Amino acid sequence: MNYNKKSIEDIEVTGKRVLCRCDFNVPTKGGKITSDKRIVAAMPTIKYLVDNGAKVILCSHMGKPKGEWKPELSLKVVAARISELLGKEVIMAEDVAGEDAKAKAAALQNGDVMLLENTRYIKGETKNDPELSKALADLADVFVNDAFGTAHRAHSSTAGVADYLPAVCGYLVQKEVSIMGKALANPERPFVAILGGAKVADKLNVINNLLEKVDTLIIGGGMAYTFAAAKGYSVGNSLLDESKIDYCKEMMAKAEAKGVKLLLPIDCVIADSFPNPIDGPVDVETVDITAIPAGKEGLDIGEKTAAIFADAVKNAKTVVWNGPMGVFENPTLAKGTIAMAQALADSDATTIVGGGDSAAACEQLGFADQITHISTGGGASLEFLEGLELPGIACLQDK
């Protein structure tokens, strides 16, 4: 995939109607937004378009209405928040690409901003329906994709509209593509990747792809126990995907054949069972990975492992991290994840944290401002690491 894409600065936007796909899939409770982080992240692109006299038409999905008009998933709360941040009224369309949206889009003046209703109110959105793509495209002269979090989906509002309009990226997507693209295509070495999270199955292709690129691959989290089982160790009640044991053996052999250092836990923190509630009290002890007793469950990496992993990060020039080292939501089981976040924060390397849980961990633990780049997309950043083409990026014009 070509990572060198045209951005909003490479085209003329003054006087143009610009359809801008953002990621306004924000959490709400009782009709109030509980975190506006995604809205704030989109503001540089929106402000650039407004300041340069574009007629701005914003669109996004929220939640999973599955083609039904669910009032609790209306973007009206988002329009109100953008109005506050911009200091000017955002015009709210009553539909997605229907009569109201058409009339309001046609009446826009330079610098005006409007927001379409939840794109997933229309069944065709997730099916990349050409009729919906064309209807959205008819509202505008130019398409801007600034929603990296949905770039791995070929939907009407993320990719389909680019069949009918010149398409470029906004600042958020530009940053994701340039930083992550460079890290994967032409990394400064040593290049270290850290993978965690629960399931080997989720990261099969990521492991395979990264072994072609990295100097060191670190594996922690729940997925490490399937690797431990592949080495012949008993893992008690720890997470185990027996169907992937042979795959783990293949990956260990591949690492050896390629001269990639594959680091696996040597000790782990165990408990009788997964904590319930997840942040409740839990009695733990640390044992060697070779000595997990029957009936016990590994829930975090141990101190010796954390020190070895941190040491590998210390000497790196590029570090990519996706997935926590344990049940980080529980303070007792967060130490391994904190150690990794601290190692990245202390590093002089280019440090990239894939979205999802590892991004949440860095933010919750207060390390976010010491990381080079925290991705805004969980699924998209994973597919990026897999080396897959992302439809919402591939459809943009190359520089």
Least Cα distance to 136 among 152, 116, 121, 151 occurs for 116
Q: Please identify every residue annotated as catalytic.
A: 38, 199, 356, 379
**Omega within 30 of 0 (cis) for the link into 71:** no
**If you compute the radius of gyration of the chain from its CA atoms, what whole number of angstroms results?**
23
Q: How many residues in the chain?
A: 399
Distant-in-sequence, close-in-space partners of 276: CB < 8 Å, separation ≥ 6: none
DSSP for 276-334 reads SSTTS----EEEEGGGPPTT-EEEEE-HHHHHHHHHHHHT-SEEEEES-SS-TTSGGG-
Q: Which helix (H) or strand (E) holds 59?
A: strand 55-59
Looking only at the bridges linking them, the beta strands covering 55-59 and 167-169 are unpaired
Q: 322 and 358 in contact (C-beta within 8 Å)?
A: yes
For residues 103 and 90, what is the distance between their CA atoms, to the nearest angstrom?
Answer: 15
